[in-house]
Structure 1
Amino acid sequence: MGYTELKAAAKKLQPLIEAEADEAERLTHLTDATVKALQDAGLYTMLLPKDLGGAQITFSDAIRVVEDVAYADASAGWCTMVAGVAGSTVGAYIPDGGAEKIYGKGPNRIVAGQGVPRGLARRADGGFVIEGNWSYGSGIYHAEIVHSGCTVMKNGEPERYDDGTPVVILAHFDREHMELGHNWDVLGLRGTGSYDYTAKDLFVPDDMCYEYAATDPVRGGNQYSLGLIGFTSFGHTAWAIGVGRRTLDELAEVARTKANPFGVIGDSASFKEKYAHAEAKYRAARAFCYEAWDDLSEVLLKDRPASLEQIALIRLAMRHIHDVISENAVFAHINGGGVSLRKSRLQRCFRDIHAGTQHILLSDQIVQACGQVLEGRVNQDAKWNIFGVLD
């Protein structure tokens, strides 16, 4: 299955995904019907390496697919991109023994959890003993394999690489070994089931772990050399493009029919001007995202390394599209004639966007690092990590 089939599948699933969205919000996790449909269509494995049965499409193409899912429902789009990030990085970087344990019977295994190192690990014979309490485990309700970031400790202190940064691993284990909280009572993205979870004194074999900073893929080839930086940037960018488009489309529908004492909202010259600017900002931001990703995907397909500038551009585009859709969602809320005060698709867009923009990878410090790189104020040995540039 390739990009064309996956894109068509995402479009075909939009009515089902949208029909299940209210129930997902009530449950605070995706419905079984939505998850099964996404899995059966191959959308959870579109970035999994071909060696493990995945489609291994390009990042640019994967963004175009997730965009359609997020358009139908932001929570479903979020969980689809999380499955792409978590499952595909596992597929690329985990040792052969672990890959066999997880994917030996087929590619349709859901991996979810929290990669940010909120847990601790200590070395043991043949692996690590881990413990921790992780938050924001998006999609974990349906996960079979849990992935969890852990700082490796020795004598009460973090182990460190030569450059001084802590050694962090991603440990993977069966869901039966975690205790799941049901505490996802939030403003938006209510259907993602981003619950807290806990593991205590759990042994995880070496072959079920890989280093958080990994950029040398075991399988999948050069596309996977971007590491978690690239995968997370793909996911959040795709999500924002989809829900951002839906917000403007919902507002336009309201404006065509909703009236106040001054007339139909969309007939106002002021509204028309502001709506035009909102469209321009969104379309420019979307174009920036695809320009940056299409350029990077072409380089990766030619088996060349990504440059510092290319990474800066995909990360900057990710933040910029979130800034734009946040501004547009506020515009829609203020100018939607009160529609978003009550339960509606426009309200859900507003809530979901302002949940998604809380993510740590949209921090100002990362944008500042992008500026540093684009100014040319880094040395030739500088490199990106998940939270900035090591110079």
Structure 2
Amino acid sequence: MRDPGHTAKTDGPMARPGPEVNDGDPTHVCRVLEAVQALAPLIAAQRNAFDSGRRLPAAVFAALADAGLFRLWLPQALGGPELSPFAFMRVVEAASALDGSVGWLVGNGAGMSRIGGYLDEAVAREWYADPRAFVASATGAVGTASAVAGGYRLSGRWPFGSGAHHATRFMGLASVRPDDPASPLLCCYLGRADLTILDNWHVSGLRGTGSCDFEARDIFVPAAHAHPFLGLQPTQPGLLYRMPPSSVFAWSICGVPLGIASGAMTSFTELAKGRSGNRAALRDRETVQATVGRTRAMLRAARALLVDAMTELMAATDTGGQRLVEARADIRIANAHAAETATSVTEMLAASAGAVAIFETCALERAVGDVRAAAKHVAMSPNNYVTAGRLALGLDPGTARF
């Protein structure tokens, strides 16, 4: 199956021209990573409130926004850093190592800043003039967008609006014919005053993300505040905005499970140094040493597969054709594999820690719940293996949403 949006002939799977992408000023990327680490004391001090409030405390959200962590993919032309996918993943992974909920909102919020590459520039500038702008998005349901003069009348209810309590804008998928699977999907953007947030985020992991449902009833959405979900035309020249949006969407959160697992390794390492009574420290046990070595290899291998898949996706974007279709499928299985691996790593470390890992005061207890929750996202679903498997077997992918 050829991608209708990319019809150029491929030179074969081994041809990997160097993609033109902004890798970002290394000094700037280092500053961003330093800013993430500087937030560690605040996050640690406020962490208990993540659970009781089922959202990030206002002080933590404001600190993340003020550090620029929700606009990492905003185009340079609009004053943003427009980080490369690799630098972006490093930042999301670092934030997730501090706390899964923090990393999840950095990935989601910063990931949505890429809409600056699709919207009319004047609209994007207006929305991101607010230094604490945050767009909560939901693709788990489809609302109804009735075409009217100048735009659409939008109604619907969307789940998993991560960061809803702090968001300045909301994106919900909609269709002019939601009962027709062939009807094109639209990304429709609403202001905070246009909708109702339903406080229903009662979960076992990523509790601090406040990923509540939100609902709109017959709200006017100007045409300039909507764009196609698939096949949209970028308004900025960067490769980031030319890449398949569904692939970039999936990449925006792929660093979260890896970061949670990395944080779990750090927590376990500290835990393993301690002694209990007359018993030897965990780190002195050969089985524990083997587990740490194995999980380290697992995590690095999963990260390497993600980097390899993204490198190919970037190279295939302007080549198009079957090469791009396969690259899109491969980025999804890399995501699924990373999530599975991060879950296994975190659970292996928790098992090695023993009974202490069931206490809420233990960082491993939170990490297990958070990584399991993150891995449930559709971008990391095991169903992604089906799509890649179908292509490898000479079948069509079975879906356009990958």
TM-score (norm 2): 0.85
Counterpart of 1:214 in 2: which secondary structure? coil
What RMSD over aligned residues (CA atoms) do the two structures have, in Å? Answer: 2.5
CA shift for structure 1 position 72: 0.7
What is the distance in 2 between the residues matched to 1:212 and 1:196? 20
Q: Cα gap change, 1:96/1:274 in structure 2, threshold over 3 Å: closer, same or farther?
A: closer
Give the equivalent residue in structure 2 for 1:349: 367
Partner in structure 2 of residue 385 of structure 1: 400
Partner of 2:119: 94
- The answer to whether residue 337 in structure 2 is matched with residue 312 in structure 1 is no
- In structure 2, the partner of 1:197 is 214
Residue 307 of structure 1 aligns to a residue in which SS?
Answer: helix
Deviations 1:349-384 (A, max 9, x none): 0110111111122222222112333x27257xx797
- Taking every aligned residue pair, what percent have the same amino acid on both sides? 25
Check the 8 A contact 1:292/1:314 in 2, yes or no. Answer: yes
C-alpha change, 1:260 and 1:385, in structure 2 (3 Å) is farther
SS across alignment from 1:56: coil
Letter matched to residue 400 of structure 2 = N
| 1:188–1:157 distance in 2 versus 1, CA, 3 Å | closer
Structure 2 counterpart of 1:385, one-letter code: A
Q: Distance in 2 between matches of 1:61 and 1:87?
A: 15
1:22 aligns with 2:48: yes
- Which stretch of the first structure deviates more once superposed, 173-182 or 246-255? 246-255
Shift of 1:101: 4.2
Which runs of no fewer than 5 residues in structure 2 stay unpaired? 1-24
Higher strand share: 1
In structure 1, which of residues 166, 188, 208 is the aligned counterpart of residue 183 of structure 2?
A: 166
Distance in 2 (alpha carbons) for counterparts of 1:281 and 1:273: 12
Residue 274 of structure 1: how far off its partner (Å): 2.7
What is the CA–CA distance in structure 1 between the aligned matches of 2:299 and 2:195, rounded to whole Å?
A: 41
Pairing 1:297-376 to 2, within 5 Å after superposition: 297=314, 307-343=324-360, 344-373=362-391, 375=392
CA contact (8 A) 2:171 2:187 kept: yes
The residue type paired with residue 138 of structure 1 is S
Map Cα deviations across residues 207-262 of structure 1 (whole Å, 9 max, x no partner): 10011113421124322122432222222211122111111222222222254886
Q: CA deviation at 1:269?
A: 2.3
State the one-letter code of the partner of 2:254: T
Output the CA distance in 1 between the equivalents of 2:247 and 2:159.
Answer: 22
Letter in 2 for 1:33: A
- Write the deviation string for residues 294-315 of structure 1: whole angstroms up to 9, x where unpaired: 4545666xx6657233323322
Q: Give the 3 Å change call, closer, same or farther, for CA 168–9 of structure 1 in structure 2.
A: same
Does the residue aligned with 1:99 lie in a helix, a strand or coil?
helix
Q: Is the 8 A contact 1:28 1:191 kept in 2?
A: yes
Are the counterparts in 2 of residues 60 and 294 from structure 1 also a CA contact under 8 Å? no
1:138 Cα deviation after fit: 0.3
Aligned to 1:208: 225
Q: Aligned in 2, Cα 1:22/1:220: closer, same or farther, shift over 3 Å? A: farther
1:126-137 aligned within 5 A:
126-137=150-161
**Pairing 1:1-391 to 2, within 5 Å after superposition:** 2-88=28-114, 90-96=115-121, 98-103=123-128, 105=129, 108-153=132-177, 157-158=179-180, 165-259=182-276, 263-297=280-314, 307-343=324-360, 344-373=362-391, 375=392, 377=394, 385-386=400-401, 388=402
Secondary structure of the residue aligned to 2:48 is: helix
Provide the C-alpha distance between the structure 1 equivalents of 2:185 and 2:131, rounded to a whole number of angstroms. 26
Comparing 235-244 with 261-270, which one deviates more in the overlay? Answer: 261-270
AA aligned opposite 2:124: A
Q: Is the 8 A contact 1:109 1:144 kept in 2?
A: yes
| Aligned residue identity for 1:335 | S
**Is the alpha carbon distance of 1:282 and 1:59 closer, same or farther for their aligned partners in structure 2, counting shifts above 3 Å?**
same
Alpha-carbon shift at residue 142 of structure 1 (Å): 0.6
2 CA distance for matches of 1:353 and 1:186?
13
- Is the CA contact 1:87–1:112 (under 8 Å) kept in the aligned structure 2? no
Instruction: Quote the Cα distance in structure 2 between the aligned partners of 1:258 and 1:195.
Output: 42
Asked if the contact 1:70/1:243 (under 8 Å) is kept, the reply is: yes
The 8 Å contact of residues 95 and 210 in structure 1, kept in 2 or not, is answered as: no
Query: What is the identity, as a one-letter code, of the residue corresponding to 1:75?
Result: S
Q: Larger relative CO (CA 8 A, sep 6+): 1 or 2?
A: 2
Farther off after superposition, 271-280 or 281-290:
271-280
Residues 95 and 372 of structure 1: CA distance in aligned 2, closer, same or farther (over 3 Å): same
Instruction: State the distance in 2 between where 1:368 and 1:148 align.
Output: 27
